[in-house]
Amino acid sequence: MTVAVPNPTVQPVKKSVLVRAPRAVAFDVFTANMGAWWPMVSHHIGPAACADVRIEPRAGGRWFERGVDSSECDWGHVLAWEPPARVVLAWQLNAQFAHDPTMQSEVEVRFTALDAERTQVELEHRGLEVYGADAAAMHDIFSSPNGWGGMLEHYAEVASARQAQAGA
């Protein structure tokens, strides 16, 4: 007799970063200016070089990349839009990093004001069980220095610099 072994629960990837900018600026740079900090050269799925990464600012809005040739490739969509406190995105890329609307994990980003000039940004990528046998490998990819942690560090640098320029 063969006993089916359920996929073990894969822990979410959790990363956080301090942004030296007010909460509204931190939210805006993350959502409306993703192309300014996303590593588009290495982290894109379209056949054309990536020109921008966009999040349409509403629940149900698209999350996608736009190529230099104006082509578009969906990554997912917006599940919750609560500026400047929180955004939840459906990540609909499979283990080969191709758009697959039949699978979905979630990326939640929370923005907590520490004071008027600093924001704690916490990202959680959850639901990685959707990757089945590839779940542990995908967790490792998302947790790697080339994954969410490194991207959030670059995001914090861009958001902090934007605030410094605005204050100058």
Q: What tens digit of pLDDT does each residue of 77-120 get?
A: 999 999 999 999 999 999 999 999 999 999 999 999 999 999 99
Domain range annotation of the chain:
13-167
Q: Which of 32, 47, 130 is nearest to 90 (CA)?
A: 130
The predicted structure's pLDDT at residue 67:
97
At 148 the pLDDT is: 97
Q: Which CATH class is domain 13-167?
A: alpha beta
pLDDT at 83: 98
Percent of the chain as helix, strand, coil, to the nearest 5: 30, 35, 35
pLDDT band at 121 (very low <50, low <70, confident <90, very high): very high
User: Has residue 43 got a pLDDT over 90?
Assistant: yes
Give kind and range of the element (H or E) at residue 164. Answer: helix 148-167
Q: Which residue has the higher pLDDT, 128 or 8?
A: 128
Confidence check: pLDDT of 51 > 90: yes
